[in-house]
Structure 1
């Protein structure tokens, strides 16, 4: 469910005949950052995704898979905006954008938020729900990992 298509980035890197190290240098990031973004181990921040796209000579949207169930973060990244930039559009603090994108909180003026994300109210509502669902899935996965870790620790 990540908004960054690491496989696509890797394919473009190989097509350009660039090594991980070459791409990392061109993007101004570490080779480990490129590797983890390509493998899907970690989701790159918008600034890093933009730098990689620039180094590959493609618009950032080329590294974002088109799919249904986009989260608000996906939409913001497609617009090429940081949380701070989105917050400035809406007239709130960056932390509020972070909380809304994680589905932690609702908003008083969803129409204003939808307009800032360039979505209809229905699209914004679906993206907000997808954001909440994603966070719930991550929390559940973390809980499962903690339980497994505890059970392994108890048996040794």
Structure 2
């Protein structure tokens, strides 16, 4: 989940005068998981982000502010669903959700998928394009790094 705001979670925890260990216990996760999520070193899984939000007494959207460009993964994570849970909601296998979220596959019934992600058809199309563009940017950046390493003679 790229949009989890760990700093906001920490602020809410401190304002509520809740210790890390107590929040972890209430959320059913380890204290290290809470620390990691708050520090921004790791993005928590949707289930963990939802559990932390509930333990803090806030809606998950409080910890996942909207980005200007929403990807399908972001939309799914805002619902607090894993890929497997989204797949069950739509009636497909988890791998299909993964492929669609990475822009590798299209879908036959965009309206069904949009509804499952809590989006309108227009929002779905935008999120699907953003997902595809993000993957393309990552692939291009990786290829650029490999070319640069090759030119420098790096073997790693």
TM-score (norm 2): 0.81
Q: Distance in 2 between matches of 1:133 and 1:65?
A: 21
Partner of 2:21: 21
Give the secondary structure class of the aligned counterpart of 1:2: coil
How many residue pairs are counted as aligned between the two chains?
155
After superposition, the C-alpha distances for 1:50-86 in whole angstroms (9 at most, x for unaligned) are: 1111211112121111232111122122223332232
Partner of 2:125: 125
Deviation at 1:150, TM superposition (A): 8.7
Q: 1:15 to 1:48 in 2, by over 3 A?
A: same
Q: Distance in 1 between matches of 2:101 and 2:137?
A: 15
Give the secondary structure class of the aligned counterpart of 2:107: coil
Asked if structure 1 preserves the Cα contact closer than 8 Å seen for 2:72 and 2:124, the reply is: yes
Deviation at 1:133, TM superposition (A): 2.6
Q: Distance in 2 between matches of 1:17 and 1:149?
A: 49
Q: 1:14 to 1:94 in 2, by over 3 A?
A: same
Deviation at 1:123, TM superposition (A): 0.9
Deviation at 1:152, TM superposition (A): 9.9
Q: 1:138 to 1:23 in 2, by over 3 A?
A: farther
Partner of 1:39: 39
Root mean square deviation of aligned Cα: 2.8
Gaps of 5+ in 2: none
Deviation at 1:146, TM superposition (A): 6.9
Partner of 1:60: 60
Alignment of 1:79-118 (within 5 A): 79-118=79-118
Q: Distance in 1 between matches of 2:124 and 2:52?
A: 28
Q: Distance in 2 between matches of 1:153 and 1:142?
A: 16
